[in-house]
Structure 1
Amino acid sequence: MTTFAEVEHNSPFSNETDDERRSRLRTVVAASLLGTTVEWYDFFLYATAASLVFNQLFFPNQSSFVGTMLSFATFAVGFLVRPIGGVVFGHIGDRIGRKKTLALTMFIMGIATALMGVLPTAAQIGVVAPILLLLLRILQGFALGGEWAGAVLLAVEHSPEKKRGLFGSIPQIGLALGLALGTGMFALLQTVFDDDQFLRFGWRIAFVLSLVLVIVGLVVRLKVDETPAFQAVRDLEQRSSAPLREVFQGKAARNTVLGMLSRWGEGAAFNTWGVFAITYATKTLHFEKVPVLLVVTVAAVVMAILLPFSGLLTDRFGPQRVYIVGIAAYGLAIFPAFALFGTENLLLFGVAMVVVFGVIHALFYGAQGTLYASLYPTEIRYTGLSVVYQFSGIYASGVTPLILTALIGASGGSPWLACGYLVATSAISVVATAAIRKRDLHL
């Protein structure tokens, strides 16, 4: 079983010049950042559309509440399929390499998103429309299942030893930028077109544009070198024949369980602030759609700016400590955030979103990739990261908007029961992360 430290001494790039090293790392940063930005732009376009468009165009015969719930249900399906993609692409990534796997996931994601942009509505083809939407969402989730782990490994396994945290934060920046692009694009299109035009064709532009982004991302990703860690394992013929089985054996099994529990708070947080808050602000607080989208966009940009600082803190204090502090801060901020939401003041809503989503989320999210990458040796690392991130995504991320909507509905419109659920996810994550033993980490 190989560690990062062992790879440093056997790296195929050990004889490169300083100029060659800088050039390689620039390409790695570009491939990791641009690739994840495109993938998450595609994935969260759906999230934004689920809040604003799909409930009207694909579930038009339902009440507003039921239509929103059905729309969020198709959103959740993407998370249910992601573990399957994680297992499939994790195995491929551990067997044939990170580079080729990431090119494949980006291609599949781009095609699925672009097809959504030309999909007929329920008014045009009836019940077939939501079925096709669901199938394309499944394809999206399958592709994204192999994306996050590969993008993290592309960055972390190329990183210099003392900058592993900084490089591990780069794919997370792509997520923040992808969300900002998605919500920003919808805000722009709703400004350019009136409501009728936006519903008829305006929203489709954001989806079709994905093809352009995918082409650019593929070109950059195909230029990057395979990671030193995977090359070392391949050259030594140490690749695992059954990485999924090994992820659930011995010390790796303990890390897998604790890793999945540690992600509960992060997944719930992201989909609360990045997805559910849009519907809550427009439907319950009765804010206009464009200002709400702009608030989410600003918060996501703030997160993108602060994520490298989280990476630097990770290099100084360790990913475990930074992640625990950030998740605990998220738990403490939930009730105050919803109290500010309850003022029904757009400015205070924006302040709350920037603090909880832009600042606090950046703190722990920047440390997450490096933390999870250290849970496993190189031979099973792609599969391990995919299992932790994607299987936990079912309960931590995908169903969060559904749970919050149901809890608020059961409370007669009060958000406090939903807040209690979110605090519980934070507590679980803090305890699980603290239980990870340093001697079991592959640093």
Structure 2
Amino acid sequence: MTRIDEARPSRSKKSLADNPAKVSVASMIGTAVEAYDFFIYGTAAAAYFGTVFFHSENPIVGVLQSFAVLAVGFFFRPIGGWLAGHFGDRIGRKTILIASLLIMGIATFLVGFLPTYAQIGVMAPVLLITLRAIQGIGFGAEWGGAVLMAVEHAPEKRRGFFGAIPQIGIPAGLLLANGTFLLSNSLLEGDWKWRVPFLLSIVMVVIGLWIRIGIKESPDFEKMKANDEIHKQPVLVMFRRDWRLVLRVVGLRLAETGGYYITTSFVLSYVVLASVSESQYVLWGTLIGSFLGLGSHLLYGALSDRVGRKRVFLIGSIVTILLGIPMFLLINTGAVLMIIVAVAISLLFSHDPIFAVESSWFSELFSRDVRSSGISLGYNLASIVAGTLPFVATALYAGAGWIGPALLFVLLGVISTVTALFTRETAPVKVGFTDADQSPLIPTAGAVR
């Protein structure tokens, strides 16, 4: 196999690329659509599905059952990650962008038509679980293709900034999801409160497809084809060469993704179960934090181009450690302002610095011939753990009170911080690390990890 070209692209190679801003925005809009689709289930699970799809007189049991189905989507995300990695490294990143959006969008739209437990009994949760699994596959396939299109089209020294643009799709999707639920809760009655947000997703899917069809394939993938660097089984090649790096990505993600779902899904049900407040105030905190995240991700991404990915990441992971107990103490006051501030601060200073640099840092850790496979699988394997955390947090609360989920939040920060300290810097800047710490932007195939 021809050696991977590590040199900076020539003028002729640059012509393979679209404008990086155009590609990043296209990736971001599609990611926002898919994030909306995925997150409306998390909101519906906490606020509605415990009674709509599950027959239980105990509210905690109903929420646990609903969060268990939430976890189903996360368990299927590695399947989507495997498919995205395999085909992204074989037939191209753009194809995955379009396919993942269709899979996710159709499954989400159909949830809006599901009959309830009161109407068809046990078949209601069975159908919900089936569509949730399909959602998981679609969302698992989405992220890797979206961020690679952005990062691989971007100039080398601005990959942190342009890689952060697709990440904005996550808070944008959450903003749309929770905003839609707030409106439907205010304007509609009965089951329409949760059905309409799912049904509206089809409009955004059409818009996302129209935008994504118009962008070019990743220039790095075009070079892979030209240089005969495409593997028949890229996932297997990646695991033989980089399995330790995949596990490292899992550890890095736990504070971001686990902390995110504790803050946005578990806390939504916690304030009601603990008789602290109404869930709508958690939604307001999430909305404000997500709105601020539209700008914070760009700032953190740009900062990582100047001081390095690792330093920006550590801001978020260390804040996660420090914030766990104070966040719950603020929420436990029951004061509306304190609840909103606690949730918004968690998103802005714990989640956003980590998430903003994941696209560029994770992409740069893998060589391009297995990059789609590596980042997609690492990203989605972490989601298996994250998907169980609202369930685990609820169980910890039932057994130990609020301190249980608070310490779980802290533990996630500890794991990601330790992992980050032992992960090499990839940004093409000198930030005080030794030569051994700072590796090339794109490692050669088979490089020591």
Percent sequence identity over matched residues?
A: 35
Offset from partner CA, 1:101-141 (integer Å, 9 cap, x none): 11000001000000001111111111111100000000000
Unaligned runs of 5+ in 2: 425-437, 444-449
State the 1:254 CA deviation.
2.5
Question: Structure 1: how far apart are the matches of 2:233 and 2:391?
Answer: 35
| 1:275 alignment partner, one of 262, 265, 269 | 265
Following superposition of structure 1 onto structure 2, how do residues 365-384 of structure 1 map, counting pairs within 5 Å?
A: 365-384=355-374
State the 1:418 CA deviation.
2.1
Paired amino acid for 2:279: K
Alignment of 1:387 with 2:374, yes or no, is: no
Counterpart for residue 245 of structure 1: 236
Paired amino acid for 2:219: P
Unaligned runs of 5+ in 1: none
Higher mean displacement: 360-369 or 372-381:
360-369
| Count of residue pairs the alignment pairs up | 429
Question: Structure 2: how far apart are the matches of 1:441 and 1:14?
Answer: 17
Q: Is the 8 A contact 2:276 2:332 kept in 1?
A: no
SS in 1 for 2:19: helix
Q: 1:203 to 1:71 in 2, by over 3 A?
A: same
Counterpart for residue 432 of structure 1: 419
Alignment of 1:209 with 2:200, yes or no, is: yes
State the 1:290 CA deviation.
3.0
Q: Is the 8 A contact 2:101 2:142 kept in 1?
A: yes
Higher mean displacement: 36-45 or 425-434:
425-434
Report the TM-score, using the length of structure 2 for normalisation.
0.92
Question: Structure 2: how far apart are the matches of 1:440 and 1:4?
Answer: 13
Q: Is the 8 A contact 1:282 1:292 kept in 2?
A: no
State the 1:441 CA deviation.
6.0
Question: Structure 2: how far apart are the matches of 1:363 and 1:419?
Answer: 20
Offset from partner CA, 1:35-89 (integer Å, 9 cap, x none): 0000000000000000011111101334211110000000000000000111012
SS in 2 for 1:157: helix
Counterpart for residue 31 of structure 2: 36
Question: Structure 2: how far apart are the matches of 1:222 and 1:13?
Answer: 22
Alignment of 1:405 with 2:394, yes or no, is: yes
Q: 1:230 to 1:15 in 2, by over 3 A?
A: closer
Offset from partner CA, 1:263-286 (integer Å, 9 cap, x none): 121121111112111111233244
Paired amino acid for 1:402: F
Q: Is the 8 A contact 2:151 2:360 kept in 1?
A: yes
Alignment of 1:296 with 2:286, yes or no, is: yes
Paired amino acid for 1:418: P
Higher mean displacement: 273-282 or 138-147:
273-282
Question: Structure 1: how far apart are the matches of 2:21 and 2:253?
Answer: 29
Question: Structure 1: how far apart are the matches of 2:309 and 2:150?
Answer: 15
Paired amino acid for 1:246: V
Paired amino acid for 2:162: F
Higher mean displacement: 48-57 or 323-332:
323-332
Counterpart for residue 141 of structure 1: 136
Counterpart for residue 167 of structure 1: 162
SS in 2 for 1:374: helix
Counterpart for residue 250 of structure 2: 260
Counterpart for residue 111 of structure 2: 116
State the 1:10 CA deviation.
4.9
Q: 1:406 to 1:440 in 2, by over 3 A?
A: farther
Q: 1:258 to 1:15 in 2, by over 3 A?
A: closer
Q: 1:272 to 1:100 in 2, by over 3 A?
A: same
